[in-house]
Structure 1
Amino acid sequence: MKAINSLNALLLFICLVSFVSCDINETEDEPKVTGYQEYVMTVASQKLQGIVGVGVNVLSDVYAVKKDMSQEWEQFTGIQDFNYESGYEYVIKISETNYLDYRRGTPAWSEYKLLEIISKEKKDSQGLPEDFIPDWWHAHQES
């Protein structure tokens, strides 16, 4: 009987330690990294107008990029450590790190960082769209 009480006390202790350690992990002061990847992209020789923002949409100049040898240009914003010069088309390698932090107003976000400039060529990029402004933006501005 004494062995059963000791076993019950040990199990209770293990459960309490488990609950306390789980609670400590949930209150970390650091954002949680939820994903990481690296990829190569082409950055066009000129920026285009596009819509950026979280919650509030703002008209801004954005990069036109082709990711991983795609044939379509798409909008891209903010790359840490990338000193862009208009008139040059770049091929760069970047990292994308995804974060989660429920203490922030926007709990999930991504950061992009330049890892390497593979090439930088003075040229006019071909096949660029006029802009990256969606139709709904124009309709919103007219009303």
Structure 2
Amino acid sequence: MKTTNFLCYVLLTLMVSFCTSCSDDENSYDETLVIASEVITTNEGTAYWVKKNGKTNWELMHTGISNFNHEIGYEYIIRVMVYKNKNAGPDQSSHSYHLLRIISKEKKNSEVPLFTTDVSFFNQ
């Protein structure tokens, strides 16, 4: 009986995996992101420094990540599902990100580009 239940579970898992991989939904895809240990707070919310799919350059991502709680001082490697937003308005992102899993979380200082948004720095 246990063997039969186990085989049914394996078969069901394989069927779900197969159906998911055969999906022709062109409006979503998964992606691996490295999230820097520091974030930037903007008028629109939190912006993350990210490296996408193994790239070596940091870029600023203004879109939030659903179900992701960033802790300052930790660099993350995460897997996300990216959905293309249909009919996104001029002030809306063309994509939304949803956390699938955290691959790693490491306490470290990420080496992100240095810049300032403090205008008074330039008026000296």
TM-score range, shorter chain: 0.5 to 0.7
Superposed CA RMSD in Å reads: 2.9
Cα deviation 1:11-61 (Å, max 9, x = unaligned):
xxxxxxxxxxxxxxxxxxxxxx761110101000011366xxxxxxx4764
What one-letter code is carried by the residue in structure 2 that aligns with 1:47?
V
On the 8 A contact 1:48/1:132 being kept in 2, the answer is: no
How many residue pairs get aligned? The number is 93
Question: Take 1:76 and 1:108, find their aligned partners in 2: how far apart are those partners?
Answer: 10
1:79 aligns with 2:65: yes
Larger radius of gyration: 1
- Runs of 4+ in structure 1 deviating by more than 6 angstroms, as ranges, are none
Residue 131 of structure 1 deviates from its aligned partner by 3.9
Question: Take 1:89 and 1:71, find their aligned partners in 2: how far apart are those partners?
Answer: 15
Residue 62 of structure 1 deviates from its aligned partner by 1.4
> What's the TM-score once normalised by structure 2's chain length?
0.62
Q: Which residue of 1 aligns with 2:35?
A: 43
CA, structure 1 residues 118+60, in 2 after alignment: closer, same or farther (shift >3 Å)?
A: same
In the alignment, structure 2 segments of 5+ residues that lack a partner are 1-24
In the alignment, structure 1 segments of 5+ residues that lack a partner are 1-32, 51-57
> What's the TM-score once normalised by structure 1's chain length?
0.55
Question: Take 2:72 and 2:81, find their aligned partners in 1: how far apart are those partners?
Answer: 22
Which of 74, 95, 106 is the matching residue for 1:121? Answer: 106
